Structure 1
Amino acid sequence: MGKLSYERHCAEITNQAALLVSALDGADLGVQVPSCPDWTVNQLVRHVGFALRWADEMIREKLPEVDMSRNLAVDVSTYVNEQASVLGPWIEESAASLASALEAVDPDEMIATLAGHPGPRLWSRRMAQETVIHRWDAVTALGVPFEVDPEVAADNLTEWAAFALPLSFFRWPAETAGLVGPGNTVHLHATDVDCEVVLDLTAPRPAMREGHEKAAVAVRGPVTDLMLAVYRRRPVDGLEVFGDRDLLDRLLASVRF
């Protein structure tokens, strides 16, 4: 476990959007989101929807590379006092359109590429997991319980290790440089599903391996809790930690996404 199929990623884009919408009905969407303090819930939903539409546009137009200038998800400050009756259909339409665009192309077609990776395969996974994490942000702000399929959470954890971790090292080299050193490895071990990830920080470019091996620090717990911990949505407290806790704390403090 740890990586879903392309078809499952496409399906989860619409599934996660629908689950997000189900939490909005009758809620005050003007409340602040504690985990994304610059946004209210309706602004968070706009962020997710615009991200979906950005990926959709790049796939449909078969852009050769990612075009950051088209991403409207960065600044959503002007969206205020919106209602679920408007936002719900809008984000579900955004998700359905992206899923259909992805289903119409070869997963490994070299369009909307990022760092040399085929765009359809990368963006199907990225947008599915983007919606998972921001669904947690929204429902937590609204006081609604959060649940996610362990298979999806395991895929999220490995996607974070394979994509978010190296991207953070690239974007914030000064903050992450101190994490690199001989023997600096982190083992993330899910206790409820077959998912184990090793983060290798021994070289300037971090690497990820799946499987069980000894590391400088190991973290054990339910896969959803591990997912939320690496995304800094919950503290490590309550998880089992063995070894170099300082390395773990510095990693989580430095890697944001």
Structure 2
Amino acid sequence: METAEHIRALDEEGRLLATAARKAGTDAEVPTCPEWRVRDLVRHTGAVHRWATAFVAEGHPSPRPLPDGPDLAGEALLTWFEDGHRRLVDTLRAAPADLDCWSFLPAPSPLAFWARRQAHETAVHRADAESAPGGALGEPGEPGEPGERTVDFAVDGIDELLLGFHARSRSRVRTETPRVLRVRATDTNAVWTVRLSSEPPAAERVDAAAAGDADCEISGPAPRLYLSLWNRLPLPAVTGDTALAELWRETSGVG
């Protein structure tokens, strides 16, 4: 996906998050984040938006701590969130292509990184807001599907998670002996081979026809896989050694 597409997705996802939060109310519990209420979700996402905006707007060359959100609730908190979301979208759209600032996952450029990361950050937390009772049009506790409702966006998010986040040394998805986990999107030809060992997972995107043997396969439509791999929905379908799927559920959380 291009940077402009990620920014459009970020714009849409932030609006949808605010809508879901208003419908649920900021005191509502968030089933996909059991320790949070909607106010905690909105504060966190709004703080992340302001944190990201500062890197892009000010060109910070090194990490900075994530700020705390304000002690607000209700409409005042939602207005604060919307203001920060709008500032992030506008800042990304105005940023130069040769932006130079800190980032933490491989990307063609810092601008491409921040647009992509914030689009997916917001999409996953929009799903959290929609999981709150009254937050979505569907069944309570069932978040909507991600980003602009497209398969391409979901595939891009799975790429970021498997090839980006879990390639880092902090990934806890490890096995004592080498194993192979396959992730297959059934609504497109995207397949990922994830080699598990005592080292960080080594994932690669492969052609569906050329995928080799695997000890376990997780499969389903890309939008559901996306949220499932972020532990927001149950895994759609699992074949082979289900212990590897359970390992993913227990250890793949990204902090």
TM-score by length of 2: 0.83
Indicate yes or no: 2:139 matched with 1:140: no
Is residue 157–residue 227 contact of structure 1 (8 Å, CA) maintained in 2? yes
Indicate yes or no: 2:225 matched with 1:226: yes
Match of 2:94 in 1: 104
Is residue 103–residue 114 contact of structure 2 (8 Å, CA) maintained in 1? no
Matched residue type, 2:60: L
Identity of aligned residues (%): 26
Q: How far apart, CA to CA, are the structure 2 residues paired with 1:147 and 1:205?
A: 28
How far does the alpha carbon of each residue in 1:10-54 deviate from its partner, in whole angstroms, 9 at most, with x for none? 111111001112223353210221222232102211110110110
Q: How far apart, CA to CA, are the structure 2 residues paired with 1:227 and 1:116?
A: 19
Q: Identify which of 183, 198, 207 aligns with 2:202.
A: 207
Per-residue deviation at 1:127?
1.1
Q: Secondary structure at the match of 1:205?
A: coil
Aligned residues: 239
Q: How far apart, CA to CA, are the structure 1 residues paired with 2:81 and 2:8?
A: 15
How far does the alpha carbon of each residue in 1:189-230 deviate from its partner, in whole angstroms, 9 at most, with x for none? 111234322222247232221123122221111112211221
How far does the alpha carbon of each residue in 1:40-97 deviate from its partner, in whole angstroms, 9 at most, with x for none? 1022111101101100011111011222x2x125xx5x735x22x3333332322222
Indicate yes or no: 2:177 matched with 1:181: yes
CA change 1:187–1:52 in 2 (3 A) is: same
Match of 2:167 in 1: 166
Match of 2:38 in 1: 41
Matched residue type, 2:181: V
CA change 1:106–1:198 in 2 (3 A) is: farther
Indicate yes or no: 2:120 matched with 1:122: no
TM-score by length of 1: 0.82
Q: Secondary structure at the match of 1:196?
A: strand
Mapping 1:3-42, distance limit 5 Å: 4-42=1-39
Is residue 32–residue 39 contact of structure 1 (8 Å, CA) maintained in 2? yes
Is residue 145–residue 227 contact of structure 2 (8 Å, CA) maintained in 1? no
Q: How far apart, CA to CA, are the structure 1 residues paired with 2:76 and 2:189?
A: 40
Match of 1:195 in 2: 190
How far does the alpha carbon of each residue in 1:114-170 deviate from its partner, in whole angstroms, 9 at most, with x for none? 267543222211111111111111111134132331322222211111222234xx2
Match of 2:84 in 1: 94
